[in-house]
Amino acid sequence: MDNAGIAALLTAANWEATLALSDKERSRMEESVHTLSHALSQGRKVYGVTQGFGPLVGYNADDSSTAHGLGLISHLAVGQGAPLSPGVTRLMLWFRLSGMKHGYSAVPVEFWLKLAALWNRGFTPVVPCEGSVSASGDLVPLAHAAFAFAGVGEAWDGTPAAGWTRVSAQRALAAIGAEGCSWSAREALAFVNGTSASLALVCHNHRAIMHLAHALAALTGRIAYLLGVDPMPYSPGVAEVRGHGGHIDAAKWIRSELMPEAPVKSGRPLQEPYSLRCAPQVIGAVIDQLSMQEDILMREALGCTDNPITWQGNVLHGGNFHALPVALCSDQQALGVHQLAFLAERQLALLLDPYHNGGKPPMLTPDPGPASGLAGVQIAATSFVAKIRQLAYPATLTALPTNLGNQDQVPMALNGANTVADMVRLAWLIIGSLALAVTQWTYLDRRSIGVGTIWADLATNFHPLHHDRALAAEVRQAAQTLEGMRIS
């Protein structure tokens, strides 16, 4: 696979995909195993093979390679919290297996083929999301995955369409007629080293944030159309003279929701508030940040994040498992999610305010006083933005030395990715809240809603708000509807 972008990467690791080994890859893997074997025959000390792990590298390894490997994954199986999603875990495993194919990790071909066969048949461990400092890679979550491949712990049963349940790993293996793996020290270390857990979640977050940006651009265009806003701020010329690609894309997405024949409504200001006028710049800036990250994340995805490695006949000890490139991407993603959430919340406030919403009643209720309309929806959205701001603190600034000082500089990449995933979830709820306001505004204005549009889909699930009712489920439904939009 070449550097085709994160969307292509997610496709390469989807549930229909399979992993295979080319003749060239097989040869390189065999050469790597030979390099390690030669080093061991010369009496060289090799981390995790002849020596202990982490700060115990000065001590000799267990005489039994299998016992040493089992000890590695056993002492690391201490993860807690909710599991990573099956899709994120499948991508995590794809990264580990793809990295081994490069021929730097000294993993035997036969063992790789066994792991790949299980992956190809959809075997997916249940992996807790908490417990990694992402310095020697994501040791803790990957250890839980390794245990599941050995038939210990839990795995997922189901499909993306039918949903998932947690079952014992032994039962999941038996269901596909497979047996668990036995981990030697080198194989276990090659599996648990690496940035794969944090990287997989960051890649999923990257795609989700791009979907957020697209949905918010569509909502901006719809709001501008309904209010009769002057479309000039969204024109190609405004974007072209500044020259940012993200701005150009965001303006195009906004324009796709504007009707060419729609006149500027009388009484609209020459220049709208920034939440409308500067939406292409705000959304575009987030898109540009995501675009800049893509090269870094793809290099990480297609590289080798193992230790030690073999290279040109030598065994090299290093630190490719340090996940700071991934962690810094999460920190920047957090800022981008906040900007999108903040913009959506400001547009919601504008639609509920008679001073800006074209003279519609406050809170978009047809009966102000007896009914409160979307007041509660706005209050909750305000809380979501505040929570997002709490979460946006950079994970890389929370590092603590650990492991007897061996891991004295750690990036906390998985912590950051977990946090961004939580922020994205809240941001979608704000997007859903804004979508309800757009739909209610349309009802109050007695506008027709085109058949076959996203706006018609929203109207199907959100009926006119004549009297106050509980809207929590409808906010979630609106968010899911917009989350399913295709990115053009």
Tokens of 89: 């875990």
In whole numbers, what is the pLDDT of the chain averaged over residues? 96
Q: Is the pLDDT of residue 353 over 60?
A: yes
**Helices marked H in 42-127 — which ranges?**
65-76, 86-101, 109-120
| DSSP class of 183 | -
Compute the average pLDDT of residues 436-464.
94
Share of the chain above pLDDT 70, in %: 99
Range in 66-75, 261-270, 289-298, 372-381 with the lowest mean pLDDT: 261-270
Where are the CATH 1.10.275.10 domain residues in the chain? 6-193
Using alpha carbons only, what angle is made at residue 227 by residues 342 and 365, rounded to the nearest 5 degrees?
75
Contact 214, 429 (CB under 8 A): no
pLDDT confidence band for 487 (50 / 70 / 90): low
| Bond into 308 cis (ω within 30) | yes
Which residues fall within 8 angstroms of residue 161, CB to CB, at 6 or more apart? none
Compute the average pLDDT of residues 370-376.
98
Q: Which helix (H) or strand (E) covers residue 81, if one does?
A: strand 80-83
Q: Is the pLDDT of residue 3 over 70?
A: no
To which CATH superfamily is domain 203-483 assigned?
Fumarase/aspartase (Central domain) (1.20.200.10)
Strand partners, 310: 315
Contact 264, 271 (CB under 8 A): no
Q: Is the pLDDT of residue 89 over 80?
A: yes
Contact 32, 103 (CB under 8 A): yes
Q: At what angle do helices 324-352 and 375-391 cross, to 10 degrees?
A: 160
Distance between CA 412 and CA 403 in Å, rounded?
A: 14
Residue 450 has a pLDDT of 81
CA 315 centroid distance within chain: 34
Strand partners, 80: 130
Q: Please tell me the number of Cα atoms within 13 Å of 44 on its side-chain side.
A: 15
Digit-coded pLDDT (tens) for 270-296: 999 999 999 999 999 999 999 999 999
Q: Which fold has domain 6-193?
A: Fumarase C; Chain B, domain 1 (1.10.275)
Distance between CA 396 and CA 272 in Å, rounded?
A: 38
Q: At what angle do helices 86-101 and 196-227 cross, to 10 degrees?
A: 130
Q: How many residues does the chain have?
A: 488
Q: Is the pLDDT of residue 262 over 90?
A: no
Contact 209, 289 (CB under 8 A): no
Distance between CA 477 and CA 383 in Å, rounded?
A: 19
Contact 92, 125 (CB under 8 A): no
If phi over 0 gives left and psi between -120 and 50 gives alpha, with beta otherwise, what is residue 244?
beta
pLDDT confidence band for 426 (50 / 70 / 90): very high
Distance between CA 458 and CA 100 in Å, rounded?
A: 46
Residue 27 has a pLDDT of 98
Residue 473 has a pLDDT of 98
Range in 113-117, 144-148, 447-451 with the lowest mean pLDDT: 447-451
Distance between CA 430 and CA 343 in Å, rounded?
A: 10
Residue 95 has a pLDDT of 98
Distance between CA 185 and CA 208 in Å, rounded?
A: 37
Digit-coded pLDDT (tens) for 127-175: 999 999 999 999 999 999 999 999 999 999 999 999 999 999 999 999 9
Q: Give the residue with greater pLDDT, 448 vs 188.
A: 188
Strand partners, 166: 156
Strand partners, 51: 60
pLDDT confidence band for 488 (50 / 70 / 90): low
Digit-coded pLDDT (tens) for 193-224: 999 999 999 999 999 999 999 999 999 999 99
Distance between CA 47 and CA 61 in Å, rounded?
A: 9
Query: DSSP assignment of 255-305, as one string?
Result: HTTS-TTPPPPTT--SS--HHHHTHHHHHHHHHHHHHHHHHHHHHHHHS--
Query: DSSP assignment of 338-394, as one string?
Result: HHHHHHHHHHHHHHH-TTTTTSPPGGG-SSBTTB-TTHHHHHHHHHHHHHHHHHTS-
Long-range Cβ contact pairs of 45-54 (< 8 A, separation 24 or more): 46/308, 46/315, 47/189, 47/307, 47/308, 47/317, 48/72, 48/185, 48/186, 48/189, 48/308, 49/185, 49/186, 49/189, 53/189, 54/136, 54/403, 54/404, 54/406, 54/407
Residue 57 has a pLDDT of 97
Q: At what angle do helices 185-192 and 139-149 cross, to 10 degrees?
A: 130
Where are the CATH 1.20.200.10 domain residues in the chain? 203-483
Which residues fall within 8 angstroms of residue 207, CB to CB, at 6 or more apart? 6, 7, 10
pLDDT confidence band for 49 (50 / 70 / 90): very high
Q: Under DSSP, is residue 51 helix (H, G, I), strand (E, B) or coil?
A: strand
